[in-house]
Amino acid sequence: MTTPNQNEHAPAPSDFIRDVVAGDVKSRKHAQIHTRFPPEPNGYLHIGHAKAICLNFGIAHEFGGVCNIRMDDTNPAKEEVEYVDSILADTKWLIDGWADDNLGLKPRGKTPDTKVNGNKTDFELSAIRNPKSEIPVEPFHASDYFDQFYEYALQLVRNGNAYVCDMTPEQTDEFRRLGKESPFRDRSVEENLDLLVRMKGGAFPDGARTLRAKIDMSSPNLWLRDPVLYRIRHAEHHHTGNKWCIYPMYDFAHTLSDYIEGITHSVCTLEFEVHRPLYDWLLASLDLPRPLPHQYEFARLNLTYTVMSKRKLMQLVNDRLVNGWDDPRMPTISGLRRRGMTASALRSFAYHIGITKYPSMTDVALLEHTVREEFNRSAPRRLAVLRPLKIVITNYPESKVEELAAVNNPEDPGAGSRKIQFGRELFIDAADFTETPPPKYFRLKPGGEVRLKYAYIIKCDEVVKGDDGAVIELRCTADLESKSGGATSSRKIKGTIHWVSAARAIDAEVRLYDRLFTVPEPDADGDFKSFLNPNSLDVVNAKCEPSLADADPQVSYQFERLGYFALDPDSKPGKPVFNRTITLKDTWAKETRKH
């Protein structure tokens, strides 16, 4: 029934939720599988949301269904349009080329259809699949159902399943903790109706009253102890303006949104597990003629060396500890994208971490592996020098320039080759030379030899120093027979280093990123901000081979021996800015750390 997981060339994932869905498909329980991704627009999406997106859209994709994107916007105090826009953009980016066919949107401005089914009133708003539509579309919004929610609230009051409560928030908390019934619990239907209408009409101030479900104050499950369904908030909502002064709570709104949209499998994270009985109670306590949704829970993603809560990410942004939500060090989808990570790599990561109910801590090394694996196959290779050190090839003619062939991608013969220029004066990376080589060092050292990639074997004859003793230039001689493909080109030289022509190289700003935090679990104890990595960003002025002047913003390049780099939007014509997405694996660095 499942189809291969498109870009991963791996079998379709299997987990306990997909098992349930597969079973329902087999038994023809539903006409079509329908999931949803319901973020609250109160922050930017992060890689944890990416896991949820890959799950919900993955299920829709694998079983030929639809996944609605829905703004769970029932709290006007916290939500903003900026977040709505970023959430839509990030979601589309993540599923682009993979599950666009399964994206469920709604016609702009459309609200649920009202149907009379016998003497039952039913509300329904079906999704249309994104790409085929000619009409303007938008994501679903829970706030588009405020009228319907209110009708359902009235129904709950009429059938004796809800009441208006006048207790203060503090009293409500205390009574729920103690399992004590509210003194307002047994108001008549008429009085409840009258109060609810007046609540809606703005007769009472914020917090004065609530609408509560009438369930069971002695239940061991706190969420069944008459949970609040509506609260009074005289506040402007980003989507509904000033139309409402009462707003539904999560449980009420979310459950009924699922029903209205015809969701079959409502997948959420573990903290909502204890809410499931309430979810089911709500659906059972209303007259709902169509098939009911079911809720399933999985463990949210935890990643080492980062924080994931929106509150903490917001704090990093507000305290200017990073440069915005899309700072490439952030675990946000926009940050990871700006850093140069691809949607397919993120999807592949989501595939590898799996779906369980165990609250695990995933090693960020797995993400890094996934990214490297993809780029190793796809990234065009280029030469760039991060910290330039000038070298002069003293036996190479001053006016001579040679064009040498450089392989674009050894993993992909079809990628062909390009020409790079060699001359008397070059830059190499300062990190590739030392006067005091440790054991097993095979880069350049005084009197030592090294291969210049695609070019000659050179020997370091002289180290030129400035007044302060710092190395400013190396004078070398080349083995002129050793050019790649030449007479002595097969001489075994341990080290090969990268270089650029001093005359032809272009300048670029390169931003080198490292982990944002210095410890694997920054929010385990203490103030997570005290574990920020002071070296998480290092900006250098690099020298790059000229072809990088026309770098494609959509392409990740491998700077040979250094890592994978992508153009930052800060780039200006003639002044490229590259972000280092991830270094290459560096076993030599590991070796030196050991000594």
- Rounded Cα–Cα distance for residues 501 and 420 (Å): 8
Q: What is the strand order of the sheet 537-544 is part of?
A: 381-382, 557-559, 563-567, 577-583, 506-513, 537-544, 384-385
Classify residue 536 by its DSSP letter: S
Least separation in angstroms between residue 265's CB and RNA is 16
**What is each CA distance from 391 to 323, 405, 464, 471, 489, in whole angstroms?**
37, 21, 10, 11, 21
Alpha helices, H only, 499-563? none
Interface with RNA, residue 421, by CB under 7 A: no
User: What separation, in Å, do the N-terminal and C-terminal C-alpha atoms of the chain show?
Assistant: 54
The interface with RNA within residues 204-223 (CB under 7 A) comprises 206-207, 209-210, 220-223
Interface with RNA, residue 200, by CB under 7 A: no
Near RNA by CB under 7 A: residue from 107, 110, 417, 442: 442
- Rounded Cα–Cα distance for residues 261 and 269 (Å): 20
The interface with RNA within residues 106-165 (CB under 7 A) comprises none
Q: List strand residue ranges (DSSP E) for 431-590, in order.
A: 449-452, 457-465, 471-479, 496-497, 499-501, 506-513, 537-544, 557-559, 563-567, 577-583
| 291 vs 354, beta carbon nearer RNA | 354
Candidates 127-135, 313-321, 417-425, 447-455: pick the segment binding RNA (CB under 7 A).
Answer: 447-455
Interface with RNA, residue 43, by CB under 7 A: no
Least separation in angstroms between residue 353's CB and RNA is 4
Near RNA by CB under 7 A: residue from 9, 320, 572, 590: 590
Interface with RNA, residue 182, by CB under 7 A: no
- Rounded Cα–Cα distance for residues 559 and 105 (Å): 41
Q: Are 264 and 24 in contact (CB under 8 A)?
A: yes
The interface with RNA within residues 502-531 (CB under 7 A) comprises none
Enumerate the active-site residues: 40, 300, 310
Amino acid letter at 533?
N
Least separation in angstroms between residue 274's CB and RNA is 5
471-479 vs 388-393, strand pairing mode: parallel
Interface with RNA, residue 545, by CB under 7 A: no
Sequence-distant (≥ 6) Cβ neighbours of residue 486 within 8 angstroms:
none
Near RNA by CB under 7 A: residue from 441, 459, 504, 518: 441
Least separation in angstroms between residue 459's CB and RNA is 16
Tokens of 434: 């030392």
Interface with RNA, residue 454, by CB under 7 A: yes
The interface with RNA within residues 6-35 (CB under 7 A) comprises 14-16, 19
The interface with RNA within residues 221-250 (CB under 7 A) comprises 221-223, 227-228, 231-233, 247-250
**What is each CA distance from 175 to 119, 185, 281, 420, in whole angstroms?**
37, 12, 21, 77
The interface with RNA within residues 309-338 (CB under 7 A) comprises none
Near RNA by CB under 7 A: residue from 121, 155, 362, 417: 362
Amino acid letter at 275?
H
Near RNA by CB under 7 A: residue from 285, 342, 558, 579: 558
- Rounded Cα–Cα distance for residues 550 and 508 (Å): 12
Distance of CA 594 to the CA centre of its chain: 34
The interface with RNA within residues 55-84 (CB under 7 A) comprises 72, 74-75, 78
| 315 vs 571, beta carbon nearer RNA | 315
| 64 vs 354, beta carbon nearer RNA | 354
The interface with RNA within residues 84-113 (CB under 7 A) comprises none
Near RNA by CB under 7 A: residue from 237, 238, 275, 424: 275
| 350 vs 516, beta carbon nearer RNA | 350
Near RNA by CB under 7 A: residue from 361, 472, 539, 555: 361
- Rounded Cα–Cα distance for residues 430 and 451 (Å): 15
The interface with RNA within residues 365-384 (CB under 7 A) comprises 365-366, 369, 372-373, 376, 381
| 128 vs 366, beta carbon nearer RNA | 366
Interface with RNA, residue 177, by CB under 7 A: yes
